[in-house]
Amino acid sequence: MIKSKRAESLVGIVIGVSILAFILIGIVNVLSFYRDSSNNFEDTIFTYIIEQNNSNILKKLDLNLENDEDFYLYRDSVNKEFKVLTGALNEDYKYVDKLGNKIDVSENLGKVFNLDFTRKMDILRNSIDPSEIPNIVFHFDAQNIDGTNNSTFNDGDLVGTWTDITGNGNDATGTKKPEYSTGSINNFPFVKFDGTDILKITNNININNDNICGTDLLFREKSYAIAFKTGNAVSGTQYIYEQGAHATGYSFSIHDGDIYAGIYNNADTSYSCYYDSSQDWDSGHKFKSVNLGEALPDTIYYIMIVQDSTHIDSGGTYIDTNNTLKIYLNGELVDETDHVDPMPEHNDIGFGGVNEETVYPWDTGSPQTCSECDYFTGGIGEFISWNHALTQTEIRGTLNYFKERWLYGNQNIEYNVTELDSSKKYNY
């Protein structure tokens, strides 16, 4: 039996709880666990235990847990209260039956148990401010377009400069100006692109290149996180963000109702003055963009990509199986792929459309050579980039940060319950 998490859930720490059952009572139905996230990510976490296929709350647990701390749930035999063991984790309380009752080792010596289920639980943690994560490159926030919490903006004003609030000076500017729109993402503002607007970011050594041909500038780590809302039409080709040209780059886009995100490196001598044959990606691994599924009109999405191309052996050869790209949609890891070597230098950055050329993820056979085209129709709430491959803790913290700011509201998370091989047995 597999119960999948809701697609819109933003998740946190994954821990496992083993459920053992007597052979005499056969395979049992375990409890489903739900977590109410209305308390704005406090350290004190309230977890509701709900009996499977039943809306009745059996017990609300008050969990005070550290990051990455494992715990076991059990029900006290005296007062029948559900409790939590953390820290050293007394092994006697490791095993419970379908009602949460402890299976006592001392009372069951010599008996054989079937391992029927393992339960994975995702607990939301406090958010992490993007500035706390190393090597932040830029940060655009529709709640702070001008760097003064929008003190100079009113609803409907055009945005000719979107300030990079990191202080790195990577502002997005343009003459085809989008619009500041209040109350657009869950009553928060966004920067509205109407299908004819585009902002651009100047090439920069920390983003894409150092403007000096022949140098060996490689990007071994990059992470992006973006919150946006589609417009009332998701047809055609719409580029939310693209960084690169028709040889190498990163992009977030919509095409004929589907969302795409990822990276590519198809460089050769005819495409780039930065070309170095040692920077070529392996044949069959040059395009790492992913179709994330259907894009619905007027819908909020959050996408994160994490590139880690730091793995190299003592001889200087990349360890392809360890160099990965992870892509998340609305908090769910939807794709992880390997053979992602470091990204060489690349050109041109477009916000809300293609600046100068790109490679379509859905048609990698030839580059797209248009200039200022494929405009986005919708709104962007926040966009962040780091030259750092986010750790799992940072990914969780950033997921929580985005949910806290853009996807607020009461939300239950349904945890995975995975049936294991019932032939596995354990003796006391």
359 against 408, higher pLDDT: 359
* pLDDT at residue 97 is higher than 70: no
**Maximum CA extent, the chain:** 78
Q: Are 287 and 360 in contact (CB under 8 A)?
A: no
What integer pLDDT is reported at residue 30 of this predicted model? 28
pTM of the predicted model as reported, rounded to 2 decimal places: 0.68
Residue at 120: amino acid letter: K
CA–CA dist 371, 34 (Å, integer): 49
Domain layout of the chain by residue ranges: 13-126+412-427, 134-389
Residue 362: what pLDDT? 84
Amino acid at 360: Y
> Of 257, 179, 234, 237, whose CA–CA distance to 354 is shortest?
237
What is the CATH architecture of 134-389? Sandwich (2.60)
Task: Name the residue among 9, 125, 67 with its Cα closest to residue 401.
Answer: 125
DSSP one-letter code for 312: B
Q: Name residue, tokens 């799992």.
A: 392
Between 167 and 95, where is the model more confident? 167
What digits encode the pLDDT tens for the residues 363-415? 776 677 788 999 999 999 999 999 999 998 888 788 878 877 886 533 333 33
Side chain identity, residue 419 = E
Q: Which residues pair with 174 in a beta bridge?
A: none
pLDDT in tens, 144-196: 999 999 999 999 999 999 999 999 999 999 999 999 999 788 888 999 999 99
Lowest-pLDDT range of 110-114, 163-167, 169-173, 304-308? 110-114
Q: Is 61:46 a contact under the CB 8 Å cutoff?
A: yes
Q: 258-297, pLDDT tens digit by residue?
A: 999 988 887 654 445 555 555 677 777 778 888 999 999 9
Q: So what's the pLDDT on residue 359?
A: 84
Is residue 286 within 8 A of residue 221, CB to CB? The reply is no
Bridge partners, residue 250, by sequence: 243, 263
CA dihedral over 323, 303, 333, 188, signed as positive or negative: positive
